[in-house]
Amino acid sequence: MSKLKIAIQKSGRLSEKSIKLIQECGIKISNGERKLKAESSNFPIEILFLRDDDIPQYVEQGVADIGILGENEVWEKDKKVIVISKLGFANCKMSLAIPKDEFYKDIQYFSGKRIATSYPIILQKYFDSKSIIVEIEEIGGSVEIATGIGLADAVFDIVSTGSTLLMNGLKEVEVVTKSEAVLISNTALSTEKQQILDRLLFRFQAVQNGNGNKYILLNCPIKSLDQITKIIPGMKSPTILPLANKEWCSLHSVVKEDEFWDVIDQLKAHGAEGILVVPIEKMVL
Ligand code: ATP
Ligand code: MG
């Protein structure tokens, strides 16, 4: 039986989360010493550990069937691959930054300027779309020091918190695009590999759904049950269990992670007590 070959980053910002996602899908991988390859003992998958720059090419050629990498690398390498889904981690912006004391009004500032970046393709497309001519200096890394050493007037790079820019006396002036980790695939998978991919996607989905949600349990007076179920409708409707005290009941439901603080305040206002919010490992809708 064939195995689905998945390429992930060997070491870097994506490695740990890529492995964690695979493991949370119940897929066992033995890779104590970080070799080039690892297999799973309980799922037809083989993992290839590569530099993220190489993943689009390998997936295009079919050396790997699928891969996990930052969407920024997919855009930059511009290979023929399919972006199957966003994975919700390694979120970052791709921004233009200039020395912090420079006056900045609008994007015309960059006309005729030299900009250092590791992402020349994305940057060129951006300025082409604005009909602005710039000079792009491609460099491999440490882009943020380029203005300080007189290599360029501005930089275009990945920004997450902006602290690296600040440390180098730069300010972010334009967010060109936003990126996050994505799953890509080869354009011509065999039927057998497509079936394995579908099984894997089903599991990814369950893990992702779980991550965005919390399981909530609480006790509330029966008289406020109507109001409380309106606040947390749950996946279909909340589970309501009787308590020994006939005037009270226990209610279980699912709330969105980013909404639960608001919800909790409203619940307390309606007399809910003993509120527990617990993580959900997986959720199949
Ligand atoms: P490799 O050795 O595999 O080529 P790399 O140095 O190119 O690694 P990393 O710095 O590990 O790459 O970043 C991998 C990806 O993580 C980036 O392409 C981007 O999608 C994402 N990312 C998220 N936040 C940041 C950040 N603050 N800085 C850099 N990359 C980030
Ligand atoms: Mg790289």
We report the CATH number of the domain holding residue 223 as: 3.30.70.120
Residue whose Cα lies nearest atom 7 of ligand 1: it is: 52
Q: Tell me: do 13 and 40 sit in the same domain.
A: yes
In the structure encoding, which two tokens stand for residue 40, read together?
């799973």
Q: Are residues 77 and 203 in the same domain?
A: yes
Answer yes or no: do 152 and 175 share one domain: yes
Identify whether residues 147 and 40 lie together within a single domain.
no
Triad 216, 221, 225: Cα angle to 5° = 65
284 is a domain residue: no
**In ligand 1, which atom is closest to the CA atom of 10?**
3
Q: pLDDT per residue over 143-189, tens digit each?
A: 999 999 999 999 999 998 889 999 999 999 999 999 999 999 999 99
100/263: higher pLDDT:
100
pTM above 0.85, yes or no: yes
Count of H helices and E strands in the chain?
8, 15
Q: What is the pLDDT of residue 23?
A: 94
Q: Which ligand 1 atom is at minimum distance from the Cα of 9? A: 3
Domain span including residue 13: 4-90+181-210
Q: How many domains does the chain have?
A: 3
52-107 pLDDT, tens per residue? 999 999 999 999 999 999 999 999 999 999 999 999 999 999 999 999 999 999 99
Same domain, 194 and 74: yes
Which of 160, 191, 210 is a domain's end point?
A: 210
User: Do 172 and 240 fall within a single domain?
Assistant: no
Minimal CA–CA distance to 170: which of 95, 114, 90, 72?
95
Q: Give the model's pLDDT for residue 32.
A: 59
Q: How confident is the model at residue 31 (pLDDT cuts 50, 70, 90)?
A: low
Is 285 inside a domain boundary?
A: no
Residue 162 DSSP class? S
pLDDT value of position 123: 98
The closest ligand to the CA of 12 turns out to be 1
Q: Is residue 25 part of a domain?
A: yes
